[in-house]
Amino acid sequence: MRLSLVRRTSAEFVGTALLVTAVVGSGIAAARLSPGDVGLQLLENAIATAFALGALILIFGPVSGAHLNPVVSAVDWWLGRRSGTGLTGPNLAAYGAAQATGAIAGAVLANLMFDLPATTWSQTDRTGANLWLAEVVATAGLVVLVFALARTGRTTTAPAAVGAYIGAAYWFTSSTSFANPAVTVGRTVSDTFAGIAPTSVPGFVIAQLVGGLLAVAALAAWYPDAGRAADAVLMPPLAQESETP
């Protein structure tokens, strides 16, 4: 069991790190390639992030489920706790720690690849009720999508579906769809196109947690037995298929 958890959390760490590297790195590249055209910069950033997310789910889904998001992991634990599926409490804590530290490491990696200081606090303020509302919507939609795919046995479509959702949410939400507390924290240490000021983080994280709660309520109404499929989020982890040595 111990080796299995190490295997899964290492996948969550690296997967979340590479996700943030894709977000921050493509943001830096977009700002340099298309100076003065914010719309084009956002398009470049969104496309790179969507494609990278799909690829990361393919890589890490069979190992850890490729949650890469503390809200997804928390809902997985909550829905699966009664049926004995999904993450246990200690596993949830380990996943959350791996995702948060991985996100910071990913931002540092992106900064270094573009010859920037390893860490610089972002000065980009992202605050206001409209942005918080956008984060509630983006996070709730993401979580409902993930668990709907698991419940209906369509996890093989998760890479394309989740990547497409995030790519679209870049454009239909005013916050550009962070929808992930770990990614939000990671983006504070890069003062670039994709950054967010540390003072803006609490509002975003609270909104994301509210979105997760709304998703739980929606799933209770639309997929009342979603908890039985918690082991399949986002893809069935191989490590959970054989816990015995």
Sequence spans of domains, the chain: 2-240
Predicted local confidence at residue 210, as pLDDT? 98
In this predicted structure, the answer to whether residue 241 has a pLDDT above a threshold of 70 is no
* 232: confidence class by pLDDT, cuts 50, 70, 90: confident
Residue 238 has pLDDT above 60, yes or no: no
pTM over 0.85: yes
Determine the average pLDDT of the residues in 193-207.
Answer: 98
Whether the predicted pLDDT of 15 surpasses 60:
yes
**H helical segments located in the chain:** 2-33, 38-64, 70-80, 89-113, 129-151, 158-172, 181-186, 201-222
Q: 138-176: string of b/e by CB count within 10 Å (b at 16+)? A: bbbbbbbbbbbbbbeeebeebbebbbebbbebbeebebb
If one looks up domain 2-240 in CATH, what number appears?
1.20.1080.10
